[in-house]
A and B are shown apart, each in its own frame.
Chain A
Amino acid sequence: NAGVTQTPKFQVLKTGQSMTLQCAQDMNHNSMYWYRQDPGMGLRLIYYSASEGTTDKGEVPNGYNVSRLNKREFSLRLESAAPSQTSVYFCASSGLQGAVARGYTFGSGTRLTVV
């Protein structure tokens, strides 16, 4: 089925370790996003990519880097993980209808624990 594929589903890291979360979409969407979800905080935008070759910071970018490898793939990297980055991470993508984003399609999420 077409959609957003996110890996891994679960990960435990030690403080200071690095890792990359992978995201790929097969819907030919221009825009891709990384959100984190914490209890009581809702979904908060980390980084987004409006089109291939561009990336922009969201609300909570500190401690993260991203790469828009091609139109399909948008990865999120934690260079030196901290316990404050324990969260559930969601990748999403959207196309455009005129100038307005269509509904986002979300990946299944990555539950990350940093100990």
Chain B
Amino acid sequence: ILNVEQSPQSLHVQEGDSTNFTCSFPSSNFYALHWYRWETAKSPEALFVMTLNGDEKKKGRISATLNTKEGYSYLYIKGSQPEDSATYLCAFDGSQGNLIFGKGTKLSVKP
């Protein structure tokens, strides 16, 4: 069974803090690594799809890096705002034809 691990499970930061969290995934049969943002009572929304080792993606204050050789990806949020509060999911796309999701990191940003 393929395993996708995310850490930490939850994170509480103050407005203005920068933060990062980790996704680890199998390093074999790698096609892509996805990141999603999931706000409470809504559905997950795609942030990034990363395919190449060393990839870096950025959207506003959020960025992500990818290391396929060692099987990890980092998501960074610079200057967190209360509206960044959400669960951040990563998902591994291997050769199985569908995504395997991690359990997510729940971020709470206090004003």
Check A106 against B44 for contact (C-beta < 8 Å). Answer: yes
Is A78 at the interface (CB under 8 A from chain B)? no
> If A107-B43, A108-B43 touch, does A102 touch B49 (CB 8 Å cutoff)?
yes
Could you say which interface size class chain B belongs to? 20 to 34
| Residues of B contacting A: mostly | strand
Whose C-beta in chain A lies nearest to the C-beta of B34? A103
Once bound together, how far apart are the Cα atoms of A40 and B102, in whole Å? 11
> When the two chains form their complex, are residues A109 and B43 in contact, meaning their CB atoms are under 8 A apart?
yes
* CB <8 Å contact, A42 and B97: no
> Contacts of B47 on A, CB cut-off 8 Å?
103
| Residues of A4-39 whose CB lies within 8 A of B | 31, 33, 35
- A104 and B46 within 8 A (CB): yes
User: Is B32 engaged at the interface, CB distance under 8 Å to the other chain?
Assistant: yes
Which B residues between 65 and 101 are near A, CB-CB below 8 angstroms? 89, 91, 93, 97-101
Instruction: Decide if B98 touches A48 in the complex (CB within 8 Å).
Output: yes
- With a CB–CB cut-off of 8 A, which chain B residues contact A74? none
The interface residues of chain B lying within 8 Å CB-to-CB of A113 are none
Q: CB-nearest residue of chain B relative to A6?
A: B43
Contacting residues, chain A, for B98 (C-beta < 8 A)? 31, 33, 45, 48, 58
Contact across chains for A43 and B97 when beta carbons are under 8 A apart: no
Q: Which of A41, A43, A99, A100 contacts B49 (CB 8 A)?
A: A100
A109 to B39, CA, bound (A): 13
Tell me the residues in window 11-41 of chain B with beta carbons closer than 8 Å to chain A beta carbons. 31-32, 34, 36
Known A-B contacts A100-B93, A103-B36, A104-B34; the reply to A42 vs B101 at CB < 8 A is yes
Contacts of B49 in A (CB 8 A): 97, 100-103
Residues in A neighbouring B34, C-beta threshold 8 A: 101, 103-104
Within 8 A of B (CB), among A85-115: 90, 97, 99-109
B→A interface (CB under 8 Å): 31-32, 34, 36, 42-49, 51, 89, 91, 93, 97-104
Name A residues whose Cβ lies closer than 8 Å to a Cβ of B.
Answer: 31, 33, 35, 40-45, 48, 50, 56, 58, 90, 97, 99-109
Beyond A45-B98, A50-B97, 10 extra complex contacts between A and B, CB < 8 Å = A42-B101, A45-B100, A99-B31, A101-B93, A101-B99, A104-B46, A106-B44, A106-B45, A108-B42, A108-B43
